[in-house]
Amino acid sequence: MNSRGTSVSLAILSLLRRLAPLALATLVVGCGQQQAQQQGGPPPPTVTIAKPVQQKVVDYDEYVGRFTAVNSVEVRARVSGYLDSVDFKDGQMVKQGDLLFTIDKRSFQNALEQARAALTQAQTNVIFTKADLERGQQLLRDKTITDQTFEQRAQAARNAEAAVAGAQAAVRQAELDLQFTELRAPVNGRIGDRRVSPGNLVTGGTAGNTTLLATIVSTDPIYFEFTFDEASFLRYERMAASGDRDVASRGAGVDVMLKLIDEKDFMHKGRMDFVDNVIDRTTGTIRGRAVFVNASGVFTPGMFARVRVPASPPFDGLLVPDVAIGSDQARKFVLVVGPDNVAHAKYVTLGQLVGDLRVIKAGLAADDNVVVDGVARVRPEQKVTPQQQQQKQPVSKTSANGATKTD
């Protein structure tokens, strides 16, 4: 190596000796700053805590069913004849006694006149036979006629009276037949469409081949029928045995709530009025029935709806906001802040939803501080900065009516 290369190498070594302390100092300062940041860290997340709301609650079950009419009548003629007129509009509401159909009356009017004439003839014959019998009594006393002749006159008088009774019955039947030519609504309700047009022959009577003219279904009140399984039936029976009214308590009139398929809340109140006496062998269910007022006519026979029935006696329940419920695979939990300001997970058993609050059946204590706001920012066993929320008022009875069943 020449003298010039040696000089350059010495200069580089001299520069590195001067820069080394500076680099070491910079590294030490950087590590110190990183360590300081790690020791301080971000502040604990702020969350809102509140104690569970305590109030009386009732468990509910929900079932799907359909409406049925209290009264459903097929309008059929009692006499045969040609249909003369239809006196209603298809689908209209009718009242009991309203005229619906009229059958040609002329032949029945003639039959009535004939029956009345026969009655008059029989009554005249009675007058004659009674007078003849009275004359026979005097002749019998005078020994002018025999006893046999007198008995014949008495028999004729009795036959004449019997003929009058038969003629009177024939007149009443003819009057009924004439009355039956006018078919009137037997119940209040909504009538369907006419099945026969005027001018057609209508077959009447009590046989199975009579002509169906129309159908009427009552609308107010209206039944709602549904089925529940054997396990639920046993649970209801246990409630009844303990002295609480339940769905299976026949005749107890337990209040139930109903909602239609386009409604969010259970807003129609009714009462139970019937539970069947057997469990269906094929399905393992038993039929129940509730009755509802239908003054507006919204409920229609055959319409589906959901009914909510009480499934437990009233009990003291703990409720927390539904948003405070977390999920860990198949388990549900809430975050509870302890005295050390650390959030702990408590696994709970859920009940029904009451407004925006969820009933907690097990796993939570009344004095627990539950995280109700900021749940997404917290992990279990993490330190937090809790802020106490104002105590939430219990849900009113009206709001509680909107509860839904939890599977």
> Which fold, 46-57+315-400?
2.40.420
| Measured CA distances, 348 to 236, 254, 318 (Å) | 25, 31, 11
* Helix pair 147-179, 106-141: axis angle to 10 deg: 160
Please, are residues 54 and 318 in contact by the beta-carbon 8 Å criterion?
A: yes
201-202 sheet: strands from edge to edge = 182-184, 99-103, 81-86, 201-202
Please, are residues 57 and 404 in contact by the beta-carbon 8 Å criterion?
A: no
Three-class HEC string of 378-405: CCCCEECEEEECCCCCCCCHHHHCCCEC
The predicted pLDDT at position 250 comes to 62
CA 61, CA 288: separation in Å to the nearest integer? 13
Q: Can you tell me whether residue 320 is helix, strand or coil? A: strand
Q: Are strands 268-275 and 357-362 parallel, antiparallel or unpaired?
A: unpaired
Stated pTM of the model: 0.69
The predicted pLDDT at position 132 comes to 78
CA proximity to 66, closest of 327, 278, 300: 300
| Measured CA distances, 289 to 102, 314, 405 (Å) | 37, 23, 19
Going from N- to C-terminal start, the domains of the chain cover 46-57+315-400, 105-180
CA 344, CA 405: separation in Å to the nearest integer? 28
CA 349, CA 367: separation in Å to the nearest integer? 17
The predicted pLDDT at position 396 comes to 46
Q: What average pLDDT values come out for the chain (407 residues) when binned by 10 residues?
A: 53 57 48 47 82 84 93 92 93 93 94 93 86 77 77 83 91 93 93 93 85 93 93 84 65 82 90 89 92 91 92 82 84 88 87 83 86 84 82 47 40
Class of the 105-180 domain?
mainly alpha
CA 161, CA 125: separation in Å to the nearest integer? 8
Alpha helices in 198-300 (DSSP H): 230-241
